[in-house]
Amino acid sequence: MILDSKIPEGPLAEKWKNHIARGKLVNPSNKRKYEIIIVGSGLAGASAAATLGELGYSVKCFSFHDSPRRAHSIAAQGGINAAKNYQNDGDSVYRLFYDTIKGGDYRSREANVHRLAEVSMNIIDQCVAQGVPFAREYGGTLSNRSFGGAQVSRTFYARGQTGQQLLLGAYSALSRQIGLGTVEMFCNQEMLELVVVNGEAKGIITRNVNTGQIQRHSAHAVVLGTGGYGNVFNLSTYARNSNATAAWRAYRKGAAFANPCYTQIHPTCIPVSGDYQSKLTLMSESLRNDGRIWAPKKLGDKRPPNEIPEKERDYYLERKYPSFGNLAPRDISSRAAKEACDEGRGVGETGLGVYLDFSDAIERLGEETIRERYGNLFAIYKEITNESAYETPMRIYPAVHYTMGGLWVDYDLMSNLPGLFVMGEANFSDHGANRLGASALMQGLADGYFVLPNTIPHYLADVPREAAPSIDGPEFAVAELEVRDRTNKLLDNNGTKSVKSFHKRLGEIMWNYCGMARTKEGLEKALELIPQLREEFRKDVRVPGEGKELNQSLEQAGRVADFLELGELMCRDALAREESCGGHFRVEHQYPDGEAMRDDESFAHVAAWEFKGEDKVPERHVEPLEYEETKFTTRSYK
Amino acid sequence: MNVKLRVWRQKNSETEGSFENYEARDLNPNMSFLEMLDVVNEDLTNDGSEPIAFAHDCREGICGTCSCMIDGKPHGPETGVATCQTYMRSFKDGDTITVEPFKANAFPIVKDLVTDRKAFDKIQRSGGFVSVRTGAAPDANAIPIGKDIADLAMDAAACIGCGACVAACKNSSAMLFVSAKAGQLNLLPQGQPEKDTRVLNMVATMDEAGFGNCTNQYECSAACPKLISEEFISKLNRDYMSASVKKLFKAKAL
Amino acid sequence: MKVIHVLFRSSIGKKFTMAVSGFILFGFVIGHLSGNLQIFAHPDKINAYAHFIESLGPALWGIRLFLLTTLVVHVWVAAQLTIENKRARQKNYDKQVTLRATLASRYMRVSGVIVLAFIIYHLLHFTVRVTHGTEAYPTTILADGTKVRDVHSMIVLGFKSPYIAIFYLLSVGLLSWHLAHGLVSMFQSVGLRTRAWSHVLERITVVLSVSYFLGNALIVVAAMSGKVRIQNPSVVGFTCRDTCEICGLRNAEAIVENADAVEDNQS
């Protein structure tokens, strides 16, 4: 397998401009002759579908939801970064680029990240023109807030629901194109297989989740904007239906999967309250501006927090990282919380939680100020836990929040499988080993609005202008048969255990052995346990109901079956990466003070895995990362 | 705690549905309503029966997928939350809870508690956008927008498209949804050039979709998980009539 | 026709039509009530007023036609809306609670239909004048010698029957209730109700509809309880005398008995 990143020549800041200027184009009158399938209607999918439709291509967009607007991009709270420098605080494209590279712990491509920083400004312009109601100052100009990992204020936001507003902007642009007939929208259609014709991606097989109908769709190119795979962990901040099936099917058809072990664990989520829990809810990072994180010094201290005297509290972030204190980056804060709980100093019923205490801030600033700043977050906390954070400290615990890994793509966002493009969280490209806050929305929209529409012609220009391959071709027939087989096998399995029970067990294995801290032994253990669980799943899963109507157990079963394979790949990747970087922390690789120890000699590369067959060991390929502009430095927050 | 459930079961849009009774035992009051349904479904699956189909996704009140009529109120007894943010502590031990899907002719039932709300997408397609080409936007700060206007537009934009307004309205009117969507764009300077065609087209599409008419009772606003104000309906009425009048008398280019 | 389409086909147009026709009818009933309140003045006042209206001739018919059309439009569009609203959810919920809809708003159809029946009766009673025998519709002579319909006596006679009086009271009560929702609602339908003043608007509405009811009820109760009496000699069955303190200037023959005596005679 050749992993050619196709990074353009020239100085870093000129690469993107030159690439657009010199790339091949498709004649406007020929564009409609090219059919493009876009799977997913989140920020990346909707913005790409709208833009490509507007350019004149014949676009088909697929979503398993009843409406494109429900994609999980909608749940992002905090904001979106852009190097506008509206605050006159020294921001620039270079600074956003640099912060993102450093935040990613030097494991992302310089050229991609620089491009992201460049187009970040166009995104804000575009969204404002669409009517996205960003927060504004009294004078009518846009307002900004600060986010972790940056020393400037460059985050644009719309109350606590920036993701929803940006998605609705992209959805409105998509709706307009659907109304104009340039995009055909397929709702309630889940992609279950990728069709490869002569080594190139030329179609997909979908199942209508409401009717069970299996359909073939062909095109000149297939674009995936299907999101991340954090639901491997079962409990996460992902939506319940977020899944990796589309990406996993592409992987099994030959697309390389890059850096699967890079997962982001967000430090401030509401802890698990019981066995029944289906979902973890994020509490914005901004709370750490005024809240102090602590755990009791004594092991197993079950006293209510207000009865634990000051000298028996351990403000461990302030103690370990005096200069950053409670504002230490996500990965570091998460690991510190886990350590405290592992030592037996965790709080709450389950012992998996630490306190985020606002009493000092309330004393200093008054309850009113705190209410103004965080009122809505305190309300969410109250809604979920029935506790008032004004009176008693919040309990928080880290949770899986984002996956930096994904399908490997080159500079044009095309995977190693020609004709298959991957955008947003589904690809691996821009965040390295750790993503900074407010960068996910930026990447999704950058890919959809500005990158893909400029790079897809580079591929299409060489594709003959004749019709897309016939859906009656043998490749489509075989792919459909595979889907039918898998579906029927699940339905006819007549096992004894529910899909959910397997998902939960997989989640536990992943969290314990491939979560915040990973060890060789643990990962090897997981690599034993996961295939066993997968085997048990195949033998003993029970999927009630029929295939020709809405069957949520069946949908979930297909997704969990893929997670059971993907989980193994994640562990394999984590085991192979003998270093600690960003969201990937190997206990064996740390400095004496417990900080992550990167190995730039051996691991300054992208690891991309190639599928070698059912239950066979996949092959690890390497794309070296070359840094022209930036120098490796150790991240220190002391 | 334990509760009894009366749940609407309907195989598909073609068949008739009916209520089935279930018992949910040993619940934690801090469970969400949907987690309670998860537990019931897990039991049903283990018993070899078919679990209850219900719509859900993000489970944090923003995607607008969940849509249960709980004890006669969309999204359950609490105010300003979606079904996924309703917790069992809002009910009493031993309660019998009636769970139905959102019902309206424009929202056909897919199965059990799942309702098809694509009619909303249709309305959106007919005018819920600003026609701006990707890449053709001026600088974001080129047009200042007063904070009060931006905040009001944000109030309208908070709509999560769940359809509780339609479900709560005795006439199944979609006016709150349409008024929020059109209102957001009509308030902002970016939305002005298409303001009149937007309201005319969106209302026409809404009427075609088979929603009822607004009788100004504001049940929609009371049931809305984002508590969107009926003031936007008033604005839509005003914008619609002024657009209609303008359409009759406005000068047209040759 | 585009106008017809907007006003009678589109959902918002129909609501606009309801609001505007409702507003006209509201204006009419207020005017009607203020006219009727003249019953508390000298009988000539109201009789002259009625005569003036009747003497408008073709203009009166124009006004009548306009009001009748407005009423028909109001009822017709209401019926259309009701049918559409029922059709929008053919399979209803097993259980549905009311969240904030006012009682008046929920019974607009009931109050509307009863009020409509009342209007028909009322027109037959006082405009077409066929519900009672001819003795219920007397005439009188004004100070300037014009012979006019004695509306004053007609009203008092009309409310003598407790059944009719109660029916009037009830209907006017329902109409006031109808207005309690209708008045706020019309502002919403034309887009003039905003959060900034909706509370004020709601209070004004309550005051207006309660006053409207009290005004009407006062007439009915006054007539029923004898606080307003018939003063038409021909109705009472006596002739007037020159120096009658009630009629004062009227040049007619004397009347000795008072209205109570009339009642005694008739019974």
pLDDT surpassing 80 at residue A300: yes
Can you tell me whether residue A456 is helix, strand or coil? helix
Q: For residue B52, what is the enclosing H or E element?
A: none
Q: How many whole angstroms separate alpha carbon A581 and alpha carbon A578?
A: 10
pLDDT by residue (tens digit) across B59-69?
Answer: 999 999 999 99
Contacts of B236 in chain C (CB under 8 A): 12, 191
| Selected residue of B52, B134, B154 to mutate for chain A interface (largest A Cβ count, 10 A) | B134
Q: Is C14 on the interface with B (CB under 8 A)?
A: yes
Clarify whether residues C50 and C143 are in a common domain: yes
For C195, the token pair is: 């959060």
Whether C22 is covered by a domain: the verdict is yes
Whether C92 is covered by a domain: the verdict is no
Contacts of A122 in chain B (CB under 8 A): 135, 137
Cα–Cα distances in angstroms (integers) from residue B236 to residues A173, B231, B249, C88, C189, in the given order: 22, 9, 20, 21, 9
Q: How many whole angstroms separate alpha carbon B241 and alpha carbon A98?
A: 53
Please tell me the total count of domains within chain C.
2
Contacts of B35 in chain A (CB under 8 A): 276-278
Cβ–Cβ of B215/C3 closer than 8 Å?
no
Q: How many whole angstroms separate alpha carbon C49 and alpha carbon C43?
A: 10
The rounded radius of gyration (Å) of the Cα atoms in chain B is 21
Nearest CA in chain A to B145: A140
Range in A205-209, A557-561, C34-38, C127-131 with the lowest mean pLDDT: C127-131
Give the pLDDT confidence score for residue C252 in this predicted structure.
39
Q: Which of A63, A66, A36 is nearest to A51 (CA)?
A: A36
Q: Which of C94, C96, C108 sits opposite B19 (nearest CB)?
A: C94
Give the phi and the psi of residue C127 in degrees, each rounded to 5.
-100, -50
Nearest CA in chain A to B107: A66
Give the pLDDT confidence score for residue B54 in this predicted structure.
98
Give the pLDDT confidence score for residue A273 in this predicted structure.
84
Q: Is A159 on the interface with B (CB under 8 A)?
A: yes
pLDDT by residue (tens digit) across A506-536?
Answer: 999 999 999 999 999 999 999 999 999 999 9
Cross-strand pairs, A607? A622
Q: Which of B8, B72, B204 sits opposite C96 (nearest CB)?
A: B72
pLDDT surpassing 90 at residue A226: yes
What average pLDDT score do residues B164-171 get?
Answer: 98
What average pLDDT score do residues B29-49 get?
Answer: 95
Clarify whether residues C204 and C261 are in a common domain: no
Q: How many whole angstroms separate alpha carbon A126 and alpha carbon B134?
A: 7
Clarify whether residues C246 and C209 are in a common domain: no
Closest approach of A342 to chain B, Cα-based (Å): 25
Whether C96 is covered by a domain: the verdict is no
pLDDT surpassing 80 at residue C234: no
- As a dihedral over the C-alpha atoms of residue B164, residue A238, residue B85, residue A274, rounded to 10 degrees, the angle is 150
Clarify whether residues C112 and C31 are in a common domain: yes
Residue A9 DSSP one-character state? S
Q: What percent of chain B has pLDDT over 90?
A: 95
Q: Which of C28, C30, C32 is nearest to C69 (CA)?
A: C28
Give the pLDDT confidence score for residue A166 in this predicted structure.
98
pLDDT by residue (tens digit) across A308-319?
Answer: 999 999 999 999
Domain range spanning residue C69?
2-86+102-227
**Is A7:A15 a contact under the CB 8 Å cutoff?**
yes
pLDDT surpassing 90 at residue C142: no
Give the pLDDT confidence score for residue A637 in this predicted structure.
67
pLDDT by residue (tens digit) across A95-105?
Answer: 999 999 998 99
CATH code of the domain covering residue C201:
1.20.1300.10
Task: For residue A330, indicate whether it is catalytic.
Answer: yes
Q: Which of B179, B183, B182 is nearest to B165 (CA)?
A: B179
pLDDT surpassing 70 at residue C245: no
Question: Would you say the CATH fold of A265-400 matches that of A36-262+404-638?
Answer: no
Q: What percent of chain A has pLDDT over 90?
A: 84
Q: How many whole angstroms separate alpha carbon C17 and alpha carbon C189?
A: 9
Q: Which of C84, C101, C195 sits opposite B229 (nearest CB)?
A: C195
Q: How many whole angstroms separate alpha carbon A616 and alpha carbon A471?
A: 30
Closest approach of B38 to chain C, Cα-based (Å): 23
Clarify whether residues C183 and C258 are in a common domain: no
Give the pLDDT confidence score for residue A1 in this predicted structure.
85
Cα–Cα distances in angstroms (integers) from residue A601 to residues A404, A575, A625, in the given order: 22, 17, 11
Across the beta sheet with A605-610, the strand order is: A406-407, A257-258, A605-610, A619-624
Q: Is B44 on the interface with A (CB under 8 A)?
A: yes
Q: Which of A164, A277, A383 sits opposite B62 (nearest CB)?
A: A164
Clarify whether residues C65 and C133 are in a common domain: yes
Closest approach of B93 to chain A, Cα-based (Å): 17
Residue A98: Cβ within 10 Å count: 18
Question: Checking phi first, is residue A593 left (phi over 0); if not, alpha (psi -120 to 50) or beta?
Answer: alpha
Give the pLDDT confidence score for residue A274 in this predicted structure.
84
pLDDT by residue (tens digit) across B224-242?
Answer: 999 999 999 999 999 999 9
| Selected residue of B81, B126, B241 to mutate for chain C interface (largest C Cβ count, 10 A) | B241
What average pLDDT score do residues C84-103 get?
Answer: 96
| Selected residue of C8, C16, C90, C96 to mutate for chain B interface (largest B Cβ count, 10 A) | C96
Contacts of A281 in chain B (CB under 8 A): 60
pLDDT surpassing 60 at residue A416: yes
Q: Is C205 on the interface with B (CB under 8 A)?
A: no
Q: Which of B62, B81, B130 sits opposite A129 (nearest CB)?
A: B130
**Is A460:A437 a contact under the CB 8 Å cutoff?**
no
pLDDT band at C235 (very low <50, low <70, confident <90, very high): confident
The rounded radius of gyration (Å) of the Cα atoms in chain A is 24
Closest approach of A77 to chain B, Cα-based (Å): 10
Q: How many whole angstroms separate alpha carbon C12 and alpha carbon C191?
A: 10
Q: How many whole angstroms separate alpha carbon A563 and alpha carbon A231?
A: 8
Per-chain mean pLDDT for chain A: 94
For A252, the token pair is: 């099994």
Q: How many whole angstroms separate alpha carbon A452 and alpha carbon A445?
A: 10
Q: Where are the extended beta strands (E) located within A96-158?
A: 155-156
Cβ–Cβ of B190/A140 closer than 8 Å?
no
More confident position, A267 or A331: A267
Q: How many whole angstroms separate alpha carbon A102 and alpha carbon A122?
A: 23
pLDDT by residue (tens digit) across A362-410?
Answer: 999 999 888 877 887 898 899 889 899 999 999 999 999 999 999 999 9
Q: How many whole angstroms separate alpha carbon C239 and alpha carbon C255?
A: 5
Contacts of B106 in chain C (CB under 8 A): 88
More confident position, A465 or B3: B3
Give the pLDDT confidence score for residue A594 in this predicted structure.
80
Q: Which of C217, C222, C249, C259 is nearest to C40 (CA)?
A: C222
Burial A53-72 (b: 16+ CB within 10 A, else e): bbbbbbbbbbbbbbbbbbbb
Q: How many whole angstroms separate alpha carbon A428 and alpha carbon A355?
A: 34
Closest approach of B107 to chain A, Cα-based (Å): 12
Clarify whether residues C217 and C249 are in a common domain: no
Whether C23 is covered by a domain: the verdict is yes
pLDDT by residue (tens digit) across A230-281?
Answer: 999 999 999 999 999 999 999 999 999 999 999 999 999 999 888 889 999 9
Q: How many whole angstroms separate alpha carbon C188 and alpha carbon C194?
A: 8
* Chains contacting B (3 or more CB pairs within 8 Å): A, C
Give the pLDDT confidence score for residue A434 in this predicted structure.
92
Cβ–Cβ of C101/B223 closer than 8 Å?
no
Residue C127: Cβ within 10 Å count: 9
Most confident of A347-356, A474-483, C153-162: A474-483
Whether C204 is covered by a domain: the verdict is yes
Closest approach of C118 to chain B, Cα-based (Å): 23
Domain A265-400 = CATH 3.90.700.10: yes
pLDDT surpassing 60 at residue C59: yes
* Chains contacting C (3 or more CB pairs within 8 Å): B
Clarify whether residues C199 and C157 are in a common domain: yes
Q: Where are the extended beta strands (E) located within A537-580?
A: 541-542
pLDDT surpassing 90 at residue A150: no
Domain boundaries, chain A: 36-262+404-638, 265-400
pLDDT surpassing 50 at residue A501: yes
Residue with tokens 């027109």: C123
Residue with tokens 């970087």: A581
**Is A33:A465 a contact under the CB 8 Å cutoff?**
yes
* Helix axes C151-158 and C198-225, enclosed angle (nearest 10): 90
The count of CB pairs under 8 A between chains A and B is 218
List, as ranges, residues 107-126 from B with C-beta within 8 Å of A: 110-111, 114, 116-118, 120-121, 124-126
Q: How many whole angstroms separate alpha carbon A588 and alpha carbon A524?
A: 14
Clarify whether residues C171 and C160 are in a common domain: yes
Question: Checking phi first, is residue A398 left (phi over 0); if not, alpha (psi -120 to 50) or beta?
Answer: beta
**ipTM for this prediction:** 0.97
pLDDT by residue (tens digit) across A158-178?
Answer: 988 999 999 999 999 999 999
pLDDT band at C237 (very low <50, low <70, confident <90, very high): low
Clarify whether residues C179 and C239 are in a common domain: no
pLDDT band at C256 (very low <50, low <70, confident <90, very high): very low
Residue A592: Cβ within 10 Å count: 6
Q: Where are the extended beta strands (E) located within A47-173?
A: 58-62, 80-81, 155-156
Give the pLDDT confidence score for residue A290 in this predicted structure.
86
Burial A479-509 (b: 16+ CB within 10 A, else e): bbeebeebbeebbebebebbbbbbbbbbbbb
Which residues, at least 6 apart from A491, have a Cβ–Cβ distance to it below 8 Å? A543, A545, A546, A547, A554
Give the phi and the psi of residue B149 in degrees, each rounded to 5.
-70, -45
* Helix axes C11-36 and C162-189, enclosed angle (nearest 10): 140
Per-chain mean pLDDT for chain C: 88
Q: Which of A125, A138, A241 sits opposite B147 (nearest CB)?
A: A138
Q: Which of C87, C94, C106 sits opposite B105 (nearest CB)?
A: C87
Give the pLDDT confidence score for residue A247 in this predicted structure.
98
Contacts of C89 in chain B (CB under 8 A): 103-105, 170-172, 212
Cβ–Cβ of B150/A135 closer than 8 Å?
yes
Of the residues A107, A115, A330, A598, which is catalytic? A330
Give the phi and the psi of residue B116 in degrees, each rounded to 5.
-90, 115
Q: Which CATH entry fits the domain spanning A36-262+404-638: 3.40.50.700, 3.40.1010.10, 3.50.50.60, 3.30.70.890?
A: 3.50.50.60
Q: How many whole angstroms separate alpha carbon A163 and alpha carbon C183?
A: 41
Give the pLDDT confidence score for residue C34 in this predicted structure.
96
Cβ–Cβ of B219/C100 closer than 8 Å?
yes
What average pLDDT score do residues C101-107 get?
Answer: 96
For A530, the token pair is: 């996961």
Whether C91 is covered by a domain: the verdict is no
Check the CA dihedral C103-C104-C110-C114 and report its sign: positive
Q: Which of A478, A491, A512 is nearest to A558 (CA)?
A: A491
* Helix axes A552-576 and A245-252, enclosed angle (nearest 10): 60
First to last CA, chain C: 61
The amino acid that residue A564 corresponds to is L
Clarify whether residues C242 and C209 are in a common domain: no
**Is A355:A305 a contact under the CB 8 Å cutoff?**
yes
Clarify whether residues C110 and C41 are in a common domain: yes
Can you tell me whether residue B207 is helix, strand or coil? helix
Cβ–Cβ of B217/C81 closer than 8 Å?
no
pLDDT surpassing 80 at residue B49: yes
Cross-strand pairs, A142? A136
Q: How many whole angstroms separate alpha carbon A201 and alpha carbon A38?
A: 12
Domains of chain B by range and CATH?
A: 3-111 (3.10.20.30), 117-249 (1.10.1060.10)
Give the phi and the psi of residue A295 in degrees, each rounded to 5.
-135, 155
Whether C205 is covered by a domain: the verdict is yes
